[in-house]
Amino acid sequence: MIVAIDGPAASGKGTLARRIATHYGLPHLDTGLLYRAVAARCLALGGLDDVGASEAAARTLDLSTIDAEALRSAAMGEAASVVAARPGVRAALLDLQHRFAAQERGAVLDGRDIGTVICPRADVKLFVTASPEVRAQRRFRELGARGAAVTFDDVLADIRKRDERDSQRSAAPLVMADDAVALDTSNLGIEEAFAAALAIVMARTAPGG
């Protein structure tokens, strides 16, 4: 079974993807980490401006060397969104994602273009949303807990800017697939959101569903 989960920043897609993967015993890939890792490599080499360097970083990315914790800063989310708008970077990451999704047992992938581009034939597609204010509150809390010195207003502005860039880009923009099920988690806690997501997965994978 392949489960594709997309949505904007801090909507809760990663949390749901991890929970669903654990529930079904499936491998999980947080595809945002790929773009964050490419951005981190570019920044370490001097900056984000060199398109060729970002494509080379994407081509040579090694999943096993990704340090997820080191990539979770707000600055890396913003930098990831810059390199993710480049068609050459996206093309270079296709094969890795396709191979992950092709595992025998299936997989859960979360990102922006999983249901539209990476796994258009996924068994279940979820499009997870929440209002920008709710998402900013969640991310603000998360970054604060990690010791980052950020204000709520900065986090909200960052989320709005990233939403705009991710939705307006021409290469694999953030858009809900026609056959995805929308799940608005604005008024749902983590457990409630998980229960709702699981109900959608079960309904979609039930015989005749």
Ligand X SMILES: Nc1ncnc2c1ncn2[C@@H]1O[C@H](COP(=O)(O)OP(=O)(O)O)[C@@H](O)[C@H]1O
Ligand Y SMILES: Nc1ccn([C@@H]2O[C@H](COP(=O)(O)OP(=O)(O)O)[C@@H](O)[C@H]2O)c(=O)n1
Q: How many whole angstroms separate alpha carbon 99 and alpha carbon 118? A: 10
Report the nearest approach of ligand Y to the CB of residue 166 (Å).
5
Of 2, 3, 4, 9, the one binding ligand X by CB under 6 A = 9
Burial 131-157 (b: 16+ CB within 10 A, else e): ebebbbbbbbeebeeeebebeeeebbe
Q: 120-149: which residues touch ligand X (CB under 6 A)?
A: 138-139, 142
120 is known to lie in a ligand binding site: no
Q: Which does 132 bind (CB under 5 to 8 A by kind): ligand Y, ligand X, none?
A: none
Segment interacting with ligand X (CB under 6 A) among 37-45, 86-94, 95-103, 183-191: 183-191
How many residues of this chain bind ligand X (CB under 6 A)? 16
Q: Is 7 annotated as a binding residue?
A: yes
Asked whether 113 and 8 are in contact (CB, 8 A), the reply is: no
Which pair of structure tokens corresponds to residue 41? 């490599």
| Residues 6 or more apart whose Cβ sits within 8 Å of residue 49 | none
Residue 112 binds ligand Y (CB under 6 A): yes
Side-chain half-sphere of 84: how many Cα atoms within 13 Å? 27
Position 47 contacts ligand X (CB under 6 A): no
Beta carbon of residue 14, minimum distance to ligand Y (angstroms, whole number): 6
Binding residues for ATP, by number, are 7-15
